Structure 1
Amino acid sequence: MIKVTQFTIHTSGKNGGATWNSPYIFTRKDNNFDVEDLKTTLYVGQRLNFDHVGLKDADAWEEKYRQAPTDGTCADFLEWCKENDYIDDYTTESYTVAEGNN
C-alpha cells in the first residue's frame, strides 16, 4: 500500500481571471513529497501569480514567498500561504492505494 495526498489549491488574481479561480488539483506519493516539494510545485506550476500584486511589488512578494517556512507539515505551509494571501484556500485528502505493476 502507498500513502498519497491530494492537494486542491484555490487562487485568484485581482481581476478574477478564470485561470486563477480554477482549483489546482494534484496528487503525490507521501514518501516522495515534502514541504519543499510543495513550495516548488506551487511556484513552478505558476499557480501563484506574483505579478497580480502589481509590477512594483512583485519582486518583494516573490522574495517573501521564497522565505516561507518549510520546517512544518504541508498543511502548515499551505496555512502560511493562505494567511499571507498567496492562496485563497486549500484542502488536502490523504488515502492509501494498492501498489500495482503499472
Structure 2
Amino acid sequence: MTKQIEMVQFTIHTSSTSGFPTWDSPLIFNHKVENFDTKDLQLTLYIGQHLNFDHVISDGKLNLDDAEAWEEKYRQAPMDGSYEDFLQWCKDNDYIDDYAVERYTVN
C-alpha cells in the first residue's frame, strides 16, 4: 500500500501601488503538510519578498524608518493559528492582496 502524503498549496497575490500585479503575483507554491507550518510560511513569504512594500517606498526610494516598522509589525503576525488565519492577517494589514489555500493528497 502506498502512503498518501498530505500537501498544501498557497496562491498569494500582491500588487504595485498602481494596482498592477507584481512580478511574483500570483505566487503559487506547495509544501508537504508534515514538514511545513505557519512560521515556515511567514519566513517563506518574507525571504522571497512576496509581500507588498508599497507603503515603505515613496518617490521611488525606500524609507528605512518605515521599512523597519513594517518588518517589526510583520514579525508580530499571529503564528499560533492556521495558515488561513496568518494569511488573513497579512491581507488585513496590506502585506498581501489576496490568497487561496488548498489541501490535497498524493500517493
Contact kept? 2:9, 2:29, Cα under 8 Å: yes
Contact kept? 1:7, 1:92, Cα under 8 Å: yes
Higher helix share: 1
Structure-2 residue corresponding to 1:19: 22
Structure-2 residue corresponding to 1:8: 11
Q: Deviations over 1:3-60 (max 9, x none)?
A: 001100001121445435720000000000000000000000111143x212152211
Q: Secondary structure at the match of 1:68?
A: coil
Of the three residues 84, 90, 105, the one matched with 1:75 is 84
In the alignment, is residue 29 of structure 1 matched against residue 32 of structure 2? yes
Contact kept? 1:10, 1:90, Cα under 8 Å: yes
Identity %: 62
What is the TM-score normalised by the length of structure 2? 0.82
Q: Which sections of structure 2, spanning at least 5 residues, go unmatched?
A: 58-62
What is the TM-score normalised by the length of structure 1? 0.86
Cα distance change on mapping 1:82 and 1:18 into 2, 3 Å:
closer
The residue identity in structure 2 corresponding to 1:85 is D
Structure-1 residue corresponding to 2:93: 84
Report the Cα distance in structure 2 between the residues aligned to 1:21 and 1:5, rounded to whole angstroms: 19
Hey, which bits of structure 1, 4+ residues long, moved more than 3 A? 15-18
In the alignment, is residue 60 of structure 1 matched against residue 60 of structure 2? no
Residues matched between the structures, number: 97
Cα distance change on mapping 1:43 and 1:14 into 2, 3 Å:
same
